Chains A and B, each alone.
Chain A
Amino acid sequence: MDIDYSSRYPAHGGQVTPGSSGAGRALRGTAEAGPAEGRQAVSALYEAHAVGLIRLAVVMLGDRPAAEDVVQEAFCGLYRRWDQLADKGKALSYVRSATMNGCRSELRHRIRNERRGSPPAPATGAASAEQAALIGEEHHQVLSALRRLPGRQREALVLRFYLDLTEPEIAAAMGISHGTVKSTTSRALAALARLLGEAAR
Chain B
Amino acid sequence: MTTTGDRVRAAARAAADTVPPDSAPPLRLPAPPRRRRWRPGPGRLPQSLTPLAAAVGVIAVLAVSLALTSSLARHRAAAPRDRALSAAELSGVPRYYVALSGPADGARSAVVRATATGRVLATVTPPRPYGAFTFLSGAADGRTFMLAAQRWWRIVPGTRGVSAQTRDNATPVAFFLLRLRPGVGPPRLTALHLPGRLLSGRLSGIALSPDGRTLALSLRVAEIRLISLEGGPARDWAWPGSAHSGQEWAGNAKPDGAPLSWTSNGQALAFQMWTKSGGITQVRLLDTRSAGGSLLTASRPVVTFAPVRPGGVKTGPVGNTLITPDGTRIVTVTQLAAQPPSPVPGGRVAEFSVRTGRVERIAGTGRVVPWDVLWTSPSGRRLIVTGLAGAHSARSVLAILTGQHVTLLPGAPPETDNVAW
Residues of A within 8 A of B (CB): 1-6, 8-10, 12-16, 35-36, 38-39, 42-43, 46-47, 50-51, 54-56, 58-59, 62-69, 71-72, 75-76, 79-80, 119, 121-122, 126-127, 129-131, 133-136, 138-140, 142-143, 146, 157-158, 160-162, 189, 192-193, 196
Question: Besides the contacts A5-B187, A122-B88, what 5 more A-B pairs have beta carbons closer than 8 Å?
Answer: A3-B188, A8-B186, A13-B28, A15-B185, A64-B18
Taken together as a complex, chains A and B put the C-alpha atoms of A68 and B96 apart, in Å, by: 13
Q: Which residues of chain B in 346-379 are interfacial with respect to chain A, using CB atoms and an 8 Å cutoff?
A: 377-379
Q: Does the CB pair A13–B29 fall under 8 Å?
A: yes
Q: Are A127 and B92 in contact (CB under 8 A)?
A: yes
**Complex CA distance for A126 and B4, rounded to whole angstroms:** 27
Complex: A127 Cα to B11 Cα, angstroms: 17
Q: Is the CB of A2 within 8 A of B11?
A: no
Q: B381 at interface (Cβ–Cβ under 8 A)?
A: yes
Q: Determine if B185 and A139 form an interchain contact, defined as CB atoms under 8 angstroms apart.
A: no
Q: Are the C-beta atoms of A130 and B5 separated by less than 8 Å?
A: no
A5–B185 CB distance below 8 A = no
Question: What are 20 pairs between A and B in contact, CB < 8 Å?
Answer: A2-B188, A3-B190, A5-B123, A5-B189, A8-B125, A14-B185, A51-B23, A64-B92, A65-B93, A65-B116, A122-B91, A126-B91, A127-B91, A130-B377, A134-B378, A135-B11, A139-B10, A142-B8, A158-B8, A162-B9
Q: Is B73 an interface residue (CB 8 A)?
A: no
B375 → A minimal CB distance (Å): 13
Contact of B27 among A12, A134, A162 (CB under 8 A): A12
Residues of chain B within 8 A (CB-CB) of A14 are 26-28, 182-185
CB distance from A120 to the nearest CB of B (A): 9
Complex Cα–Cα for A121 and B25 (A) = 22
| Residue with the greatest number of chain A CB neighbours at <10 A, chosen from B7, B10, B116 | B7
- Do the beta carbons of A6 and B91 come within 8 Å of each other? no
On chain B, the residues within 8 Å of A142 by CB distance are 7-8, 10-11
In the complex formed, the residue of A with least CB distance to B22 is A51
Instruction: Decide: A6 near B378, CB < 8 A? Known: A62-B15, A189-B4.
Output: no
B11 near A143 with CB under 8 A, answer yes
Contact of A8 among B123, B182, B377, B379 (CB under 8 A): B123
Contact A8 B183 (CB under 8 A): no
- How many B residues, CB 8 Å from partner? 60
Q: CB distance B15 to A51 under 8 Å?
A: no
Task: Report A82 CB to chain B, min CB distance, Å.
Answer: 10
Contact partners of A126 in chain B: CB under 8 A = 91-92, 381-382, 402-403
Docked complex Cα distance between A56 and B19 (Å): 10
**Chain A residues with CB below 8 A from B11, complex form:** 135, 138-140, 142-143, 146
Which of A16, A62, A72 is the most central at the interface, judged by chain B CB atoms within 10 Å of its CB?
Answer: A72
B24 engages A35 (CB within 8 Å): no
> Which single residue of chain B is at the shortest CB-CB distance from A123?
B91
Choice from B9, B19, B27 contacting A13 with Cβ under 8 Å: B27
Does the CB pair A12–B28 fall under 8 Å?
Answer: yes
Indicate if the CB atoms of A68 and B25 lie closer than 8 Å.
Answer: yes
On whether the beta carbons of A42 and B29 are closer than 8 Å, the reply is: yes
Task: Kindly list chain A residues whose C-beta atoms are within 8 Å of the C-beta of B379.
Answer: 129-130, 133
- Out of B9, B381, B382, which one reaches A161, CB within 8 Å? B9
Majority SS at the chain B contact face:
loop
Docked-complex contact B18 and A135, CB < 8 angstroms: yes
Q: Say yes or no: is B326 at the interface (Cβ < 8 Å to chain A).
A: yes
The answer to the question of B14 belonging to the interface, with a C-beta cut-off of 8 Å to chain A, is yes
Question: What's the Cα separation between A79 and B29 when bound, in Å?
Answer: 7
Chain A binding surface, main DSSP class? helix
User: Which residues of A sit under 8 angstroms from B23, Cβ to Cβ?
Assistant: 51, 54
- Using CB atoms, name the residue of chain B closest to A67: B19
- Give bound CA distance, A55 to B182, whole Å: 16
Interface flags for B102-125 (1: CB within 8 Å of A; 0: not) read 000000000000001000111111
Measured between beta carbons, the chain A residues less than 8 angstroms from B182 are 14
Indicate which residue in B7, B22, B30 contacts A76 across the interface (CB closer than 8 Å).
Answer: B30
Chain B residues lying within 8 Å of A50, measured Cβ to Cβ, are 24, 27, 183
Evaluate whether A136 and B14 lie within 8 angstroms (CB atoms) in the complex, with A5-B123, A122-B87 already known.
yes
Q: How far is the CA of A119 from the CA of B90 in the complex (A)?
A: 14
Instruction: Take A1-B191, A3-B127 as given contacts and tell me if A35 and B87 are in contact as well, using a CB distance cutoff of 8 Å.
Output: no
Within 8 A of A (CB), among B167-198: 182-191
Give the residue of A9, A59, A127 whose beta carbon is less than 8 angstroms from that of B121. A9
CB distance from A159 to the nearest CB of B (A): 10
- B87/A5 in contact, CB under 8 A: no
What's the Cα separation between A138 and B403 when bound, in Å? 25
Q: How far is the CA of A189 from the CA of B5 in the complex (A)?
A: 7
Closest to B10 in A: A139
Is the pair A76, B29 in contact by a Cβ cutoff of 8 Å? yes
Q: Measured between alpha carbons, how far is A29 from B94 in the docked complex, in Å?
A: 36
Question: Which residues in chain B, 26-68, are within 8 Å of chain A measured between CB atoms?
Answer: 26-30, 32-33
Contacts A66-B87, A135-B11 known; A8 to B124 CB distance under 8 Å?
Answer: yes
* Contact yes or no, B13 A64, CB < 8 A: no
Instruction: Please give the distance in Å from B393's CB to the nearest CB on chain A.
Output: 27
Please state if A43 and B4 are interface contacts (CB–CB under 8 Å): no
Chain B residues with CB under 8 A of A122: 87-88, 91-92
Given A59-B12, A126-B402, A146-B11, is A72 in contact with B186 using a C-beta cutoff of 8 Å? Answer: no
